[in-house]
Amino acid sequence: QLSTSQPSPERVPSPEEQEWAGPEALCPGWLEDEAPDGKVPGDSGDPDGATHAYERLQSALCQEGLPPTLDCSAEPRTGFGPLDMTVCILGSPTPFLPVLLEGGTRCPGAMVLCLSPSWASRVPSESSPGAWSLLLSRGVSFKVGGHSALETFVPPRRVNYVTGTFAPGDPEGGWVGELARDLDCPTGGSVPLAHRLEDTLVTRLVLAARTNLPVPPTLAFVLGARGDLPAEPVAPGVRLVRLQDPQGQQSLVQEE
């Protein structure tokens, strides 16, 4: 159901409504020296991350011929309870844009994109001791027809499902992985899982040694100790060579 602050699909938004919020709206209080309580450790409050992600979102929406995101943050959304569905996407919007658009069509308002760690907080779970609940104070929600809105939630909105950009090389992977760690709701991945799935050597060792599936002939040089690899892997087609120091071992490399 569309909120009262969301323009109807028939009305064309004015240029003032189409203008996206600046850094202060995306990261409130980013000029303050101290981060608010409950935020993820290490969040510097630098608005560049949210600003750049927001610009990428607007570019992606424009390429799809969809309207720009409206800034509705001045009128906080209220009334969310434990039974309200909230599917949260953490990090870069680009990989999950089809999911956000489809989710906005099937469950308007339930898909919320979080572009900054300052938009969320972790609190001890009331239902699962030792776990955490993820609360959203701000996010970009998606509605029918590709409409989206930057919104604030008072009180913060509890998340029921989390996924995001857990890729090891993604610059946002650090805070995304920290927010999604040890939650009391299902998650669509984790940084350790992404490390294992995207590690070609580990993948081939598992396929060859545990499932007897053929893999391409593989010669892998590993620098230093890696606890996630067996000491002497027995996998057809895979040979692992450990190097203590890359300097002065050219002959060993050439021999192998």
Choose from 3-7, 96-100, 224-228 the range with maximum mean pLDDT. Answer: 96-100
Specify the long-range contacts of residues 30-37, CB closer than 8 Å, at least 24 apart.
Answer: 30/118, 35/118, 36/118
Tell me the pLDDT band of 173, cut-offs 50, 70 and 90: low
For residue 27, pLDDT over 80 is answered with no
Does 104 share its domain with 125?
A: yes
Number of domains in the chain: 2
Tokens (6 digits) for 113? 């994109």
Q: Would residue 30 count as lying in a domain?
A: no
Q: Would residue 129 count as lying in a domain?
A: yes
Last residue of a domain, one of 167, 188, 209: 188
Q: Would residue 32 count as lying in a domain?
A: no
Q: How far apart are CA 137 and CA 6, in angstroms?
A: 18
Choose from 23-32, 165-174, 183-192 the range with maximum mean pLDDT. Answer: 183-192
Last residue of a domain, one of 142, 162, 188: 188
pLDDT on residue 18: 43
- Chain-wide mean pLDDT for the chain? 79
Which range (39-48, 75-84, 216-225) has the least confidence? 39-48
For residue 213, pLDDT over 90 is answered with no
Does 143 share its domain with 234?
A: no
For residue 77, pLDDT over 60 is answered with yes
Q: How far does Cα 137 stand from its chain's mean position?
A: 16
- The percent of residues in the chain predicted with pLDDT above 70, rounded, is 77
Does 176 share its domain with 224?
A: no
Which whole number is the average pLDDT over 111-122?
94
Does 180 share its domain with 66?
A: yes
Q: Would residue 33 count as lying in a domain?
A: no
Does 158 share its domain with 217?
A: no
175 closest CA partner among 133, 99, 115, 86: 115
Which range (5-19, 114-128, 237-251) has the least confidence? 5-19
The per-residue pLDDT for range 132-158, each reduced to its tens digit, is 999 999 999 999 999 999 999 999 999
Q: Would residue 148 count as lying in a domain?
A: yes
Does 234 share its domain with 149?
A: no
Which whole number is the average pLDDT over 7-29?
45
Does 210 share its domain with 178?
A: no
Does 67 share its domain with 158?
A: yes
Does 181 share its domain with 207?
A: no
The answer to whether 73 touches 151, Cβ cutoff 8 Å, is yes
pLDDT on residue 170: 59
Residues spanned by the domain of 123: 48-55+62-188
Does 66 share its domain with 179?
A: yes
Q: How far apart are CA 147 and CA 213, in angstroms?
A: 46
Q: Would residue 194 count as lying in a domain?
A: no
Does 113 share its domain with 69?
A: yes
Please report which residue ranges of the chain form alpha helices under DSSP H: 15-18, 23-26, 48-63, 97-106, 173-179, 191-197, 200-210, 250-255
Which whole number is the average pLDDT over 195-217?
81
Q: Would residue 79 count as lying in a domain?
A: yes
Q: Would residue 72 count as lying in a domain?
A: yes
Last residue of a domain, one of 188, 207, 230: 188
Tell me the pLDDT band of 254, cut-offs 50, 70 and 90: confident
The answer to whether 225 touches 251, Cβ cutoff 8 Å, is no
Q: How far apart are CA 135 and CA 47, in angstroms?
A: 20
Does 126 share its domain with 227?
A: no
Cβ contacts of residue 152 below 8 Å, gap of 6+?
A: 73, 76, 77, 137, 138
